[in-house]
Structure 1
Amino acid sequence: MDDGWNTPHPPTEIRGSNVRRANDNNGLVKSAPAAVRDDGADDGWRAEDGAPPPLRTEIIRDTTRTIIARNKSPDISFNQSINPYRGCEHGCIYCFARPTHAYLGMSPGADFESRLLVKPSAAELLAKELSAPGYVPETIAIGTNTDPYQPIEKKMRIMRSVLEVLRDFRHPVGIVTKSPLILRDLDILSEMASMGLAKVALSVTTLDRKLARVMEPRAGTPSRRLQAIKSLSDAGVPAGVMFAPVIPALNDGELESVLQAAKDAGARTAGYVLLRLPLEIKDLFREWLEANRPDSAKHVMSLIRSMRGGKDYDAQWNVRMKGTGPYAEMIAKR
């Protein structure tokens, strides 16, 4: 019997990127109505904001038998992470995880946004790994590669099931997301936070609604992300903000205003990461710049190279996140 995992599935609120690659699939899906209670279902976008070209999302079962990934990178603050999904519907043009889809024989463009690998058994796998003899608890990071609260999570509820396991095991977790959907799980997060087990960071890259619409077409609006920070903070969940990525001559001028808005909403911590353009992303991002910011595209890329030793990207440990050179130093001092 066909279980439907390899057939096109229309989740809610799916909108497409205007950057195309081979094997990209087109389609049309509808948005689900927001609930009266703020459960994060409303991403904040309205008809007057316009809609990017739509995509139809296909979900594919991820049959790997482990869920916790171990980090070996010396310049990352966490040692283990979970990614319930591979690929991300948010469609952020700058996402450094896009090339992972090329390894799977799919495009880093719209395939990354619309052909998602999901782990329906994530909670069961997690419980098994946490129960293994010799396992030593330390904070598990979620949202470090793809967003656990992307639109498909409304239906799949994999992230919620993962949180339930972490709560039951009294296991610490740190979450990064761009989605107000995290408020759906505020009951679990506030319970975990009361035991010192949960912290959350919302990624806010701009307060400019129009820029966010074209740069992060399916993520929540900037105001909804700030509202999520406030709701989390009010519920006792330690909340922070990530200004990531910093893109010179595009959003770096908003750094102070974003941090102030996040602070006003209740954010306790803040961090930033410089734009990273590994592998296929450099071409995708350049195409996006030329299509959406033609007058400043060359200037943006010139500043990026000035912070990357004359290249589009420098993957060296302890350099890739912050860059080098006068412009990078200026950003770091702000």
Structure 2
Amino acid sequence: MIAPQKETHHNWIVRENFSGTDIYLAQAKTILNKATGFMNSYDFTLNPYRGCQYGCSYCYAAAFSPDKNRRQNWGNWVIVKENAAQILEKELARWQQKFPNIAPKIYLSSVTDPYQPLEVKRQLTRSLLKVMLAYQPTLVIQTRSPMIIRDIDLLSQFQRLRINLSIPTGSERVRKDFEPRSPSIKSRLQTINKLKYNIPVKANYDIRFSVTITPLLPTFPEDEINFIQQLTVVDRVVLQDFHPSNNNTLTASTRKNAIALKDKYAWWYGNNKHSYQNFKQKLQDYFTALLADVEIMEGKAGFGFD
């Protein structure tokens, strides 16, 4: 389970509308949240926003919405933590004072996408990267957005960095069903290539790249080989099935929207375990035949830095 985020004070007045999304502004009391459960290999999770414009049908983060209405309206609202960079500076300074010889491990982000479309205007994530550079944490960034390329100048300065690019399927038709607001598969594959080949290799710097196929969605047979071939640019591929479904709040859970879509893909979900293992085996066989140095990891283990 991913720990729920601490509440920020807001009065639920819509401050603006950005591309059809209601935007609320908040002053965060804290920005570094203690990492627990699924993310407990880190010291902190860091979420510059609450809510996410991508609104993916399967997203577990909807469970951590402030109320029932916003759980049901996931994808159509975002809370901007306006003072995130200032709070981060204070919290990292406190960490450094307490642990002068230990850099914190930070996961950006656990319940939002730090590069959702609103980031173009707000540049909140970019401001956080600037603050973190002075403290050099071990940093993992989780996103599905090509916008991350904008920050290559900053990313290149981190000494211990892993970038996880989320690509749950190799088929555009599937993406359009499960995550229609998200960037195309092609653009995401191009993004991981640009990151890999434009962030310079430096002595004593540890920069790593993952594709997280999480949750593993169907990929049509005619798309599999092309998709798998393009994954050899990374050092890790992470697989994970849907989160268990339940009606509890504050528990990572697959939304009803995605569960309803399963019927359309009965050829895959009729024997989900077989489909999952078959795809995993094809990955292994291809990487082995190519002698590609790509590790395949599953679930929680795949989201650690190492």
Report TM bin, short chain: 0.7 to 0.9
User: Which of 267, 271, 275 matches 2:234?
Assistant: 267
User: Which of 185, 209, 215 matches 1:245?
Assistant: 215
> Structure 1 residues 226-235 or 76-85, which shifts more?
76-85
User: Which of 197, 205, 227 matches 2:168?
Assistant: 205
* Structure 1 residues 105 and 275: alpha-carbon distance in aligned structure 2, compared to 1, 3 A threshold: closer
Q: Could you report, residue by residue, the CA deviation over 1:142-199 in whole angstroms, capped at 9, with x for unpaired residues?
A: 122211101111111110000000112222211111000001111100122xxx2322
* Structure 1 residues 256 and 143: alpha-carbon distance in aligned structure 2, compared to 1, 3 A threshold: farther
Q: Show the counterpart of 1:9.
A: 16
Q: Show the counterpart of 1:287.
A: 260
* Structure 1 residues 74 and 229: alpha-carbon distance in aligned structure 2, compared to 1, 3 A threshold: closer
Q: Show the counterpart of 1:230.
A: 193
Distance 2:175 2:225 in 1: 17
* Structure 1 residues 74 and 271: alpha-carbon distance in aligned structure 2, compared to 1, 3 A threshold: closer
Number of residues of Structure 1 aligned to a counterpart in Structure 2: 255
1:13-52 equivalences under 5 Å are 29=19
* Structure 1 residues 231 and 331: alpha-carbon distance in aligned structure 2, compared to 1, 3 A threshold: closer
Distance 2:165 2:195 in 1: 10
Q: Which amino acid aligns with 2:231?
A: A
- CA drift of 1:87 comes to 1.1
Indicate yes or no: 2:78 matched with 1:116.
yes
Q: Is the 8 A contact 2:113 2:144 kept in 1?
A: yes
Q: Which amino acid aligns with 2:215?
A: P
Q: Is the 8 A contact 1:150 1:219 kept in 2?
A: no
Q: Which amino acid aligns with 1:163?
A: L
Distance 2:68 2:27 in 1: 16
Distance 2:43 2:245 in 1: 22
Q: Is the 8 A contact 1:205 1:258 kept in 2?
A: no
Unaligned runs of 5+ in 1: 12-28, 30-55, 308-325
Q: Show the counterpart of 1:45.
A: none
Q: Is the 8 A contact 1:240 1:269 kept in 2?
A: yes
Q: Is the 8 A contact 2:268 2:275 kept in 1?
A: no
Q: Could you report, residue by residue, the CA deviation over 1:192-239 in whole angstroms, capped at 9, with x for unpaired residues?
A: 2xxx23221111122222221222122211111111111111123532
Q: Which amino acid aligns with 1:63?
A: Q
Distance 2:255 2:198 in 1: 40
Q: CA RMSD in A?
A: 2.8
Distance 1:77 1:259 in 2: 28
User: Which of 99, 103, 111 matches 1:137?
Assistant: 103
Distance 1:108 1:301 in 2: 26
User: Which of 79, 90, 95 matches 2:59?
Assistant: 95
Distance 1:77 1:241 in 2: 19
Indicate yes or no: 2:63 matched with 1:63.
no
Q: Which amino acid aligns with 1:271?
A: V
* Structure 1 residues 252 and 207: alpha-carbon distance in aligned structure 2, compared to 1, 3 A threshold: closer
So what's the TM-score if we normalise by structure 2? 0.73
So what's the TM-score if we normalise by structure 1? 0.68
* Structure 1 residues 62 and 303: alpha-carbon distance in aligned structure 2, compared to 1, 3 A threshold: farther
Unaligned runs of 5+ in 2: 1-9, 200-206, 248-253, 285-306
Q: Is the 8 A contact 1:232 1:238 kept in 2?
A: no
* Structure 1 residues 210 and 74: alpha-carbon distance in aligned structure 2, compared to 1, 3 A threshold: closer
Q: Show the counterpart of 2:112.
A: 146
Q: Is the 8 A contact 1:138 1:171 kept in 2?
A: yes
Distance 1:96 1:257 in 2: 29
- CA drift of 1:114 comes to 1.1
Distance 2:157 2:39 in 1: 31
Q: Show the counterpart of 2:89.
A: 127
Q: Which amino acid aligns with 2:52?
A: C
Q: Is the 8 A contact 2:54 2:182 kept in 1?
A: yes
